[in-house]
Amino acid sequence: VLGGVGGGFKVAMNILNNGRFGMAAAMAGTMRGLLDRAVEHATNRTQFGAKIHTFGAIQEKLARMALLQYVTESMAYMISANMDQGATDFQLEAAISKIFGSEAAWSVADECIQVMGGMGYMQEAGVERVLRDLRIFRIFEGTNDILRLFVALNGFQTLGVQLRGVQKALKNPLGNIGVLAGEVTQRLRRKAGLGSGLSLGDHVHPELQDSSQKALQCLELFAGTADALLLKHGKKIVDEQFALKRVADAAIDIYAMAVVLSRASRALSRGDPTAQHERLLCEAWCHEAHQRVLGCLGPLPSQSFRGLRSIAGAVVESG
């Protein structure tokens, strides 16, 4: 038996990590090439008497392409740095970077073709092949749908261990006053919207404090939502895939916020030539990720889930 009874899946996932941890780097490089192609076309193409890079619609596309490339590259740097420092447990980070990188690269390739117009669709431009080749990355090394469940359920597994510890402490409350008091205080603070008192002030550059507060707010909401879902569904949480997908999406966005905060803070602290540009990228990402996390987690729309389930059932039944 490898890894102990019940641990086989984790062993298999660790093997797959070898194919996942480098995917963010590969996708970041691909996106850099696509962004260069889009910028080259936008700065040379004239329409309505002006270069198309001066139009807001094109500027938004280029900015979002740059954001996705920066975040994916930051994930690759983070995983690589952790591995260089001897980390051996990076399965969640590898899964998240694989999901994010493969979907980001697809989006960037699609937008590159859109910026280039009909020319981008032509074989001679070479971009249509990149788009086609990128499609497999959302499937192999574990489909992104399965990996989302893996990310969410691993988090619930850790939370479940914590809750079992609280249940054990309740059997002898007088002997575990410290444990129970801490748990009660944390839950009351969360209920009152006060958070846990965590701060990133010592780890994030002063220019990024607003973005770090957004990340912390998302983290607090994530913890409260996960806690509530596990208390509500217990072991049956594995069957709540509508909710699990949204929890995973929130986790991916929060991790992305963490890696860009880390990278941009380092650039600002060292006074790198790209520091102010990286600050803009970090602020823009954290602002939009913050909005997405709030939308994903508060509150989870169970009525909408039931509607989607009914629609899917009707579609299947009708053939």
Instruction: Reply yes or no on whether the pLDDT at 261 is more than 70.
Output: yes
Matching CATH topology for 8-138 and 146-304?
A: yes
Q: Tell the CATH superfamily of the 8-138 domain.
A: Butyryl-CoA Dehydrogenase, subunit A, domain 3 (1.20.140.10)
> Is it true that the peptide bond before 299 is cis, omega within 30 degrees of 0?
yes
Contacts 24+ apart (CB under 8 A), 177-180: none
pLDDT at residue 180, as a whole number? 45
The CATH number of domain 146-304, selected from 1.20.140.10, 2.20.25.90, 1.20.1080.10, 1.10.1040.10: 1.20.140.10
Active site residues: 141
Summarised one tens digit per residue, pLDDT across range 68-120 is: 999 999 999 999 999 899 888 888 999 999 999 999 999 999 999 999 999 99
Instruction: Reply yes or no on whether the pLDDT at 265 is more than 70.
Output: yes
* Range ranked top by mean pLDDT from 121-125, 175-179, 193-197: 121-125
Summarised one tens digit per residue, pLDDT across range 50-65 is: 999 999 999 999 999 9
43 and 87 in contact (C-beta within 8 Å)? no
Domain boundaries, the chain: 8-138, 146-304
**Cα separations (Å) of 54 from 61, 69, 120, 286, 299?**
12, 21, 19, 25, 40
Residue count of the chain, please give it: 319
76 and 39 in contact (C-beta within 8 Å)? no
Contacts with 38 (C-beta within 8 Å, 6 or more apart), sequence order: 61, 62, 65, 111, 112, 115, 116
pLDDT at residue 160, as a whole number? 67
